[in-house]
């Protein structure tokens, strides 16, 4: 008997996402006392004290389900972005929202056009629906190839993904290229712009995709997260800003009813209420990224331009084995693994002492 008959043909094409180590999994294993976690682009600073207080207070009420579509949080996010609350969808991380897009839009015979290397959810979510993930290689500086993305669109394209600043490279899309994307993606195709690192770019003068997206005639969605700049990755809150209520409502049709923990919602409101704290974390991270990038260049590795809370560099063919070696010592960096880019390593900007430990280990391994 074939014991995996329950796997659909689409799901058979996916590999199990296993083995990523997190602060929580390492603590459970109990083997490493002070692991240096620079592989998940988390914020190294704890959340705002307001978050800790709000969550502590709310925990007494967790016998009740949360709100399937939390209105106050959506209104807060809507007001900050000059958009109607009906066009905001809150997700269990932006990962959830990016995963809902293929569920809403794609089926066998369809395709989604997306950059590579980039965030894996676009291709995994697309393939899980039996649709084709049409991947367009980034330009040499690591930014999405807008002309290439537009050229890959055909009559079966339902969704186009872009990512700015792009993970794992760090490069943002310049405004004129976002405009070309907004104008060039056909009006019956959903344009999704993943802006998980928006706040870091904005702190350096970037204005993000929204100003251009607002002028788009066809459907669009921008996704953002509170996992990075707002220090609540473990609570899981991301959101989508949609071009119309129809896009937000389409995503609601496929989401789980109670997708959000009520603690996460309370935490998100508190985190967004303490912008000064978030800006402090961002400023420290950006200053440290400059220092770290300079040291990596000094070590002789070419860094890619980054506007996010990480820096990637060309380490060479030994990247995977050296990173495995470092992980065994409790220092976690992330080799890209994407075909053709195996030599690249991404380092999240952590606390200065963590970054120094990682750089010293890299120097020793060279």
Ligand X SMILES: Cc1ncc(COP(=O)(O)O)c(C=O)c1O
CB atoms within 10 A of CB 246: 12
CA-closest candidate to residue 150, choices 164, 165, 134, 166: 134
Sequence-distant contacts of 298-306: CB under 8 A, at least 24 apart: 299/359, 299/362, 299/363, 299/366, 304/141, 304/142, 304/169, 304/170, 304/171, 304/344, 305/141, 305/142, 305/170, 305/171, 306/165, 306/169, 306/170, 306/171
- Eight-state DSSP code of residue 241: E
For residues 49 and 44, give the distance between their C-alpha atoms in angstroms, rounded to a whole number.
15
Peptide bond into 165 cis (omega under 30): yes
User: Least Å distance between CB 194 and ligand X?
Assistant: 5
Q: Are strands 88-91 and 238-242 parallel, antiparallel or unpaired?
A: antiparallel
Closer Cβ to ligand X, 54 or 163, answer by number: 163
User: Least Å distance between CB 119 and ligand X?
Assistant: 4
Closer Cβ to ligand X, 172 or 238, answer by number: 238
User: Least Å distance between CB 95 and ligand X?
Assistant: 3
Residue bearing tokens 């649709």: 131
Closer Cβ to ligand X, 119 or 301, answer by number: 119
User: Least Å distance between CB 97 and ligand X?
Assistant: 8
User: Least Å distance between CB 316 and ligand X?
Assistant: 24
Closer Cβ to ligand X, 210 or 233, answer by number: 233
For residues 168 and 161, give the distance between their C-alpha atoms in angstroms, rounded to a whole number.
15
Closer Cβ to ligand X, 9 or 19, answer by number: 19
Closer Cβ to ligand X, 233 or 323, answer by number: 233
Write the burial class of residue 171 (CB in 10 Å: 0-12 exposed, 13-18 middle, 19+ buried): buried
Buried b (16+ CB within 10 A) or exposed e, 66-105: beebbeebbebbbeeeebebebbbbbbbbbbbbbbbbbbb
- Residue number of the CB closest to ligand X reads 93
Closer Cβ to ligand X, 83 or 163, answer by number: 163
User: Least Å distance between CB 121 and ligand X?
Assistant: 7
Chain contacts with ligand X (rule: CB under 6 A): 41, 93-95, 119, 163, 167, 194, 196, 225, 227, 233, 238
For residues 88 and 74, give the distance between their C-alpha atoms in angstroms, rounded to a whole number.
6
Closer Cβ to ligand X, 183 or 204, answer by number: 204
User: Least Å distance between CB 163 and ligand X?
Assistant: 5
User: Least Å distance between CB 196 and ligand X?
Assistant: 4
Write the DSSP assignment of 296-355 as a string of letters: HHHTTPEEPP--SSEEEEE--TTHHHHHHHHHHTTEE-EE---TT-TTEEEEE---HHHH
Closer Cβ to ligand X, 348 or 355, answer by number: 348
User: Least Å distance between CB 195 and ligand X?
Assistant: 8
């Amino acid at each position: 008997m074939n014991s995996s008959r329950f796997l659909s043909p689409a799901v058979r094409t996916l590999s199990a996402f296993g083995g990523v180590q997190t602060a929580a999994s390492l603590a459970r294993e109990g083997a490493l006392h002070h692991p240096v976690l620079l592989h998940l682009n988390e914020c190294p600073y704890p959340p705002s004290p307001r978050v800790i207080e709000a969550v502590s207070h709310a925990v007494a009420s967790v016998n009740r389900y949360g709100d399937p579509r939390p209105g106050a949080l959506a209104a807060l996010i809507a007001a900050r972005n000059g958009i109607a609350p009906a066009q905001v969808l809150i997700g269990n991380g932006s990962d959830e929202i990016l995963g809902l897009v293929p569920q809403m839009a794609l089926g066998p015979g369809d395709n989604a056009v997306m950059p590579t290397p980039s965030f894996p959810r676009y291709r995994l979510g697309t393939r899980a629906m039996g649709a084709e993930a049409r991947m367009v290689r980034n330009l040499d500086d690591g930014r999405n190839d807008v002309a290439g993305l537009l050229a890959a669109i055909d009559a079966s394209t339902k969704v186009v993904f872009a990512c700015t600043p792009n993970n794992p490279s760090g490069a943002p899309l310049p405004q004129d290229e976002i405009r070309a994307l907004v104008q060039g993606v056909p009006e019956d195709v959903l344009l999704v712009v993943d802006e998980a690192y928006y706040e870091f770019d904005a702190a350096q003068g970037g204005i993000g995709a929204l100003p251009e997206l607002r002028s788009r005639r066809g459907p669009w969605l921008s996704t953002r997260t509170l996992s990075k700049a707002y220090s609540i990755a473990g609570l899981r809150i991301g959101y989508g800003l949609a071009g119309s209520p129809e896009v937000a409502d389409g995503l609601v049709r496929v989401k789980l009813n109670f997708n959000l923990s009520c603690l996460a919602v309370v935490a998100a409101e508190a985190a967004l209420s303490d912008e000064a704290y978030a800006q402090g974390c961002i400023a420290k991270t950006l200053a440290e990224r400059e220092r770290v990038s300079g040291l990596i260049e000094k070590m002789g590795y070419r860094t890619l331009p980054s506007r996010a809370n990480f820096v990637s560099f060309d380490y060479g063919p030994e990247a995977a084995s050296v990173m495995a070696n470092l992980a065994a010592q409790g220092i976690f960096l992330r080799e890209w693994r994407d075909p053709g880019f195996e030599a690249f390593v991404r380092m999240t900007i952590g606390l200065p002492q963590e970054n120094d430990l990682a750089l010293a280990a890299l120097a020793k391994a060279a």
